[in-house]
C-alpha cells in the first residue's frame, strides 16, 4: 500500500491530499441487507432523513422470558 501525505484543516476537519475511495453503505430492508447506492433517489433521500435512537439496556423487557 502506498503512503500518502495527508494534511488537515483543523477548524473544518477537512482532509486534503489523500486518495479517496467510495464507501459502500448497506441497510437492512425487510430482513436482508442491500447497498444503499442501488436504491432509487426517493428511497435514498428517505434514508438520509432517518433518525436513529438507542434502546436503554439490551432492548428486552424485564422479567422471565416465555
| Residue extents of the structural domains in the chain | 24-49
Whole-prediction pTM: 0.41
Given this model, what pLDDT does residue 5 score?
Answer: 62
pLDDT in tens, 15-61: 666 677 888 888 877 778 888 888 899 989 998 998 888 878 776 77
Distance CA 44, CA 38 (A): 9
DSSP the chain: ------EEETTTTEEESS---PPP-EEEETTEEEEGGGS-HHHHHHHHH------STTSS-SS---
Q: Is the pLDDT of residue 66 over 60?
A: no
C-alpha cell at 14: 477537512
Amino acid at each position: 500500500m502506498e503512503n500518502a501525505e495527508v494534511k488537515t484543516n483543523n477548524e473544518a476537519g477537512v482532509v486534503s491530499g489523500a486518495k479517496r475511495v467510495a464507501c459502500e453503505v448497506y441497510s437492512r430492508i425487510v430482513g436482508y441487507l442491500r447497498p444503499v447506492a442501488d436504491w432509487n433517489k426517493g428511497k435514498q433521500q428517505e434514508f438520509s432523513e432517518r433518525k436513529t435512537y438507542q434502546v436503554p439496556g439490551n432492548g428486552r423487557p424485564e422479567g422471565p422470558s416465555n
